[in-house]
Structure 1
Amino acid sequence: MSYLQVQQLTKSFGPVNVLKQVDFSVEPGEVHALLGVNGAGKSTLVKILSGDYEKDGGTILIEGEEVHFTSPSDAQEKGIAIVVQEVDTGLIPNLSVAENVTLDLTVGGKNSRPISWKKRKLIAEERLAKVQTQIQLNRLVEDCTLSQKQMILLARAVASDAKIIIFDEPTAPLSDQETKQLFSVIEELKAQGIGMIYISHRMQEIKQIAERMTIMRDGKAVAVYETDSVSTEEVVKTMLGKQLHKADYHHRDFSEETVFEIDHIAVPETGKQISLSVRAGEIVGIAGLVGAGKSETANAIFGVTNAKGKWLINGKEVKVKSPRHAVQAGLSFIPEERRKSGVLIESNVQENLSLPALKHFTTAGFINRKKEHQSALQQIQELGIITSSPKALMKHLSGGNQQKVSIGKWLNHDSSVFMFDEPTKGIDVGAKNDVFRLITHLADQGKGILYFTSEFDELLQIADRILVMADGEITDEMLNQEATEARLMTAATGGNAVETAEYQQRLSAAGRS
């Protein structure tokens, strides 16, 4: 018997039917992958199973018993836990690691007696050990890295005695080594009979750990495959309803004029200095593995951490002591953690799109909502944002559409330089092509682009020039025509050659030499 069965599940938001009679199941000890483009209905299905949304129709069965969830606690009581993609939404930042890992001991009335701090730390240490992780227990969660936050959530889920654990893009913030640790934990959970729902856009991972996959499209479960019996090309075609051809890099002509330059910017978080330049219309990729210091460097350039150094935009030296100074100087920044710092998740699409250029919609201190609305309608159409209305809340949009808004909100602002930090994190292949199109369009307008990513294959498709970072420093620079994944990986590991058979297999699987 399946531990979890979903039959004919339906859900609508106003006139929009998001789930249309979806069938889905998970067996004990199975990793069942859930795939689909952004907006296909995956997130809505998961939110119903985790108790965030109530279903409109259909049946959910747990071990053959029909259940109805009205809150996350209902789902947790029935043995369903979730490790969310946007980790900050699942943690309390101003509490310690130990407090977050053992939150269940003090929330929900499970303990009638107070628990000592010493015992709580011991329990937290044991739980982290189960997911092969060590983090200083007294550290505040807000001071932890993305990967550490992810493992805290996983430790809490494993400790909940869940029979089903939902993973939403779990490896997005993880390094290769941390991903291996996660997969090792997943294998242990499988051996214990725990079923898992695994959402990811990384087919290589799904092929490695999932037994089955369900593909969703337009709110329906359109196919269920045994993972070993289907090709990646067939999966992508089923997700999109059409064949998608991977974009290849095409050489573009751009100006010799330098639009942006930084000279010896001291990055507080890495303790290193960075110098680089970008020409008008040029896309410069910043490649690096997780932990290389890319995000820290991007934040420093944008004035988040009050870095020291020299900034020049269009040949003029500017002061960038804060993000406000950066925006005034002509910098725009699309950050990695879009829900935390890229968009206002509780506000609507229209408000988010107009925010950086609010002065264009304001007269005598009052916002012209009609003008703002018309601008939002135009941007929604131009950017291909899928939403029921400009007034729809951001939290109801898929990850890919949230990212389009995160980018689109800067298009009304007269910026000379656009910085993107992991812009395709957690979005599907279709939305990724849309993001590439937007970035290329900005470059064609003469904007300078800095593209920070750990996805090396993306840079081979879009970047004109690539700088590689390791340990907070630039270790190599190359034109697109000179770049290979092997050379990028060598530089990203600090100049140490990668000679393992495993990596060569990865290159072959990706279709590159």
Structure 2
Amino acid sequence: MSILQMKGIVKAFSGVPALRGVDFEVKAGEVHALLGANGAGKSTLMKILTGAYQTDEGSISIDGEQLQIHSPQDAKAQGVQCVYQEVDTALIPYLSVAENILLDQLVQAKGTDLIRWPRIYSQAEDILREFGFSISVKKQVEACTLSEKQLILIARATVQKAKFVIFDEPTAPLSNRECERLFQIIAQLKQAGVGIIYISHRLPEIFQICDRITIMRDGQRVHTTETAATDMDEVISHMLGKSFAEEFPKVDVEMGEPLLEVAGVKGGKVRGADLTVREGEIVGVVGLVGAGKTELARLLFGADPSDAGDIVLKGKKLHLRTPKDAVDAGIVLVPEERRKEGIFVEESVKRNLSVATLSSAFGFVRHSLEALQANDLIKRVGVKTADSSLLVGLLSGGNQQKVAIGKWLDTDSSIFMFDEPTKGVDIGAKSDIYRLIGNLAANKKGVLYFSCEFAEVLGIADRILVMCEGRIVKELDREQATQELIMYYASGGE
């Protein structure tokens, strides 16, 4: 049986330890979960395995033979592939679905080779059909949905006949049906003798598909066990170093007058939306993937034009042509695709946190004030960073999300909208985000919380609106809502 082993892996950045002598292994034909809170070192360990980073100390081997992995190409040559969480960084947007799936083959083609496009399209169609994916192979990737992009990456990785495949939060953008299909694909790979390293913050799926679990904390491996020999409470305890008694720290807040009133809003996928948000109220908008939640958030933020309907904030009718109109009126959005729309990945933490509030009338930034405000927000939001000057793109996913939220906190906004705010975020960072949202409600702000995670919405929302096929089809009180009832209406029940 083939086995990949990482032994004594050490890595530091600017003298700050990220990995402290980590051992990890995955066997052929097993699914091995790699878990840990944000900043635990999971991503750094996997970037060393895939050649994106170089280890300071330690070794990597397959069946006892030492590997020299200095680049992603080296990793692929050794049979190590990765399906990345941040899909837009791994795909070429202006190429077709077929070209992205078969990218390695096209790149390796000699200059004199004739690319036979009908054959390329046919081969890509066969691959997608084998996986049960339904995507036009001629479609440009930039026109694909987030879930389609994820499926393209999975198809690309698995077509390479890899010995070991890393799945980094692969189900984050997928619907329930797409998740089940992914699990079938993973079972097929496992049956074929492929070793799977599976990274996810969704613990139920870990227990559904993984054979072993390794847990990291503070740059160290703290626990490895057979999945059947543990449970969720023990896993969470190892991840956090303490028990996690309250996953959803809900604070009771006395609600005030209506802040936001939306009537008959339509546009794009949104076929009809009526809703109200009061002072201190958290309203959950829930539905399956494709129900129109993100599209509704974009309409209310002025990112997309509405065809009909009224948006009224504090009694004043709004005419939102751009996101700036919404921000000026007092409506802000933390978008689903944080790296693409929520943060500037090539700018510092400090600049990201101050961008919404500190430009002067002449376009200049007062750097001393910027630093003060950033350091204050870092403490308030709980961003884990060595320095406020660090590029935000180098932070973990949960810390990037905290920055995306934090930049709005010092604005004078009345309505805060969150679109899938905990996607790809570990359980500890989720708790921090829930507390931030609870504090907004306690300060009489109105919150719209868009999510396809039913348990989250049940835990955090005061009132729940269910979307299906572009419409808000049901309103549920917190007391009457259940996951089963939400699923019933989200699936088209009446």
Cα distance, 1:112 vs. partner?
A: 5.4
| Deviation of 1:134 (Å) | 2.0
Matched residue, 1:503: none
1:335 maps to a residue whose letter is P
Provide the residue aligned with 1:506 in structure 2.
Answer: none
Q: Which residues in structure 2 correspond to 1:130-279 (within 5 Å)?
A: 130-247=130-247, 252-268=252-268, 270-279=269-278
* Displacement of 1:249: 7.0
CA RMSD of superposed structures (Å): 1.5
Aligned to 2:461: 463
Counterpart Cα distance in 2 of 1:328 and 1:179: 39
Cα distance between partner residues in 2 of 1:307 and 1:346: 32
* Residue in 2 that maps onto 1:488: 486
When normalised by structure 2's length, the TM-score is: 0.97
Counterpart residue number, 1:342 = 342
Choose 295-304 or 253-262, whichever is displaced more: 253-262
1:10-409 alignment runs, 5 A limit: 10-108=10-108, 113-247=113-247, 252-268=252-268, 270-308=269-307, 309-359=309-359, 362=360, 364-409=362-407
Conserved 8 A contact 1:101-1:153: yes
One-letter amino acid matched to 1:296? E
Task: Say which SS state the counterpart of residue 356 (structure 1) adopts.
Answer: coil
CA distance in 1 between counterparts of 2:52 and 2:378 reads 27
Query: Which ranges of structure 2 fall in alignment gaps of 5 or more residues?
Result: none
For 1:456 and 1:112, the matched residues in 2 are separated by 54
Are residues 369 and 114 of structure 1, via their aligned partners in 2, closer, same or farther at CA, if it must alter by over 3 Å? Answer: farther
Unaligned runs of 5+ residues in structure 1 are 497-513
- Displacement after TM superposition at 1:111 (Å): 7.2
User: Whole-Å Cα distance in 2 between the matches of residues 400 and 110 of structure 1?
Assistant: 42
Q: Deviations over 1:321-350 (max 9, x none)?
A: 111211111111001111111111121101
Amino acid at match of 1:294: K
Give the distance between the partners of 1:98 and 1:455, measured in 2 at CA: 31
Which amino acid is 1:163 matched to?
K
Q: 1:111, 1:22 → 2: CA distance?
A: 43
User: Partners of 2:172 and 2:214 in 1: how far apart?
Assistant: 20
Once the two structures are superposed, residues 93-133 of structure 1 have per-residue CA deviations (whole angstroms, 9 ceiling, x without a partner) of: 12211111111122255675131111110121122223221
Distance in 1 of aligned mates of 2:54 and 2:112: 30
What is the match of residue 426 of structure 1? 424
Q: Post-superposition shift, 1:390?
A: 0.2
Q: Distance in 2 between matches of 1:421 and 1:364?
A: 33
Letter in 2 for 1:433: S
SS of corresponding position for 1:173 = coil
Contact kept? 2:257, 2:278, Cα under 8 Å: yes
**Identity of aligned pairs, percent?**
49
Question: In structure 1, how many angstroms separate the alpha carbons of the residues matched to 2:76 and 2:253?
Answer: 56
AA at the equivalent of 2:272:
Q
Q: Which range is displaced more, 233-242 or 313-322?
A: 313-322
What is the CA–CA distance in structure 2 between the aligned matches of 1:463 and 1:203, rounded to whole Å? 22
Name the amino acid aligned to 1:288. G
**Distance in 2, Cα, partners of 1:130 & 1:395:** 35
Q: Distance in 1 between matches of 2:40 and 2:55?
A: 16
CA gap 1:407/1:110 in 2 versus in 1, 3 angstroms: farther
Deviations 1:381-423 (A, max 9, x none): 1111100100111121111111100100111221110000011
The separation in 1 between residues aligned to 2:259 and 2:126, in whole angstroms, is 52
| Inter-partner Cα distance in structure 2 for 1:70 and 1:412 | 43
Q: 1:158 to 1:250 in 2, by over 3 A?
A: closer
Size of the alignment, in residue pairs? 493
- Give 1:215 deviation, angstroms: 0.2
Q: In the alignment, residue 4 of structure 1 is paired with which amino acid?
A: L
